[in-house]
């Protein structure tokens, strides 16, 4: 079935973006290049485009979206089906980005499953911040090149809500999803990473860019 030209299709799920919605249902969205606010945005009309993928793939995306509240509310150790849901959601948002639109139009289940398989073998932990200080973007799952004593590795960071972020590393000394308030990153540094990784749009809870 061809794409519906009248349908706005998200790169970043609407129910996830809703967590950054402020008073009056407005979303603080900024243009990455100019850092200027984009007026009139809500969680329904941000971080997406019209007429870019098939109805079948959009339906699959909405199926995962219906479960997103189970993921972004996590703050304790998870396993089994919950862990599969978490890694699947992260993999989906890593692969399904505007940078990959041409490839996505042909389907992206193989790439999602490959990245999910990698994530499932990693250690993950959550950091909770005081207040609402974290931003997100139209490409929220950030994969960073890093290194430890064993050599190069990929380090994944994703904001789950305005005051919660998840970190994933292949370092096997960090098994399972743990809750931590340890200062792994301060909010300013994390927001810099998120803003740098964005494609075109950055989202803020209070309509301010929390960048140094």
- Distance (Å, whole) CA 71 – CA 14: 14
- 159 Cα distance to chain centroid: 6
Bridge-based pairing state of the strands 8-10 and 151-161: unpaired
Q: What are the backbone dihedrals phi and psi of residue 161, each rounded to the nearest 5 degrees, phi first? A: -160, 175
Bridge-based pairing state of the strands 136-137 and 48-50: unpaired
The per-residue pLDDT for range 143-191, each reduced to its tens digit, is 987 655 555 557 889 998 898 888 887 765 544 555 555 557 888 899 9
Whether residue 203 contacts residue 135, with contact meaning beta carbons closer than 8 Å, is answered with yes
- Distance (Å, whole) CA 166 – CA 158: 5
Structural domain including 50 reads 8-204
Share of the chain above pLDDT 90, in %: 24
Instruction: Report yes or no on 212 lying in a domain.
Output: no
Q: Is 167 helix (H, G, I), strand (E, B) or coil?
A: strand
Q: What is the pTM of this model?
A: 0.83
Instruction: Report yes or no on 49 lying in a domain.
Output: yes
The per-residue pLDDT for range 26-82, each reduced to its tens digit, is 899 999 999 999 998 999 899 988 877 767 767 766 676 666 666 666 555 566 667
Q: And the tokens for 10?
A: 């998200």
Rounded-to-10 torsion of CA 172, 177, 182, 185: 80
Instruction: Report yes or no on 120 lying in a domain.
Output: yes
The per-residue pLDDT for range 88-146, each reduced to its tens digit, is 888 888 888 877 766 666 667 788 888 888 888 777 778 888 878 899 999 999 998 76
> Given pLDDT bands bounded at 50, 70 and 90, which one contains residue 5?
very low
Domain count, the chain: 1
Instruction: Report yes or no on 210 lying in a domain.
Output: no
Instruction: Report yes or no on 3 lying in a domain.
Output: no
């Amino acid at each position: 079935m061809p794409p519906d030209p009248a349908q706005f299709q998200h790169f970043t799920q609407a129910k996830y973006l809703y967590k950054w919605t402020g008073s009056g249902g407005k979303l603080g969205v900024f243009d990455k290049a100019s850092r200027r606010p984009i007026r009139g945005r809500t969680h329904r009309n941000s971080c997406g485009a019209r007429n870019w993928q098939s109805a079948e793939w959009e339906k699959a995306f909405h199926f995962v979206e219906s479960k997103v509240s189970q993921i972004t509310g996590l703050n304790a150790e998870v396993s089994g089906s919950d862990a599969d849901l978490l890694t699947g959601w992260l993999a989906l948002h890593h692969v399904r980005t505007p940078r990959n639109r041409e490839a996505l139009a042909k389907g992206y289940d193989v790439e999602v499953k490959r990245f999910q398989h990698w994530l499932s073998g990693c250690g993950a932990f959550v950091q909770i911040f005081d207040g609402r200080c974290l931003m997100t973007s139209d490409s929220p799952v950030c994969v960073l090149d890093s290194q430890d004593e064993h050599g190069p590795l990929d380090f994944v960071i994703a904001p789950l809500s305005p005051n919660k972020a998840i970190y994933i590393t292949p370092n096997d000394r960090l098994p399972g999803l743990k809750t931590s308030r340890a200062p792994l990153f301060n909010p300013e540094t994390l927001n810099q990473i998120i803003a740098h990784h964005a494609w075109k749009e950055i989202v803020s809870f209070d309509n301010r860019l929390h960048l140094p």
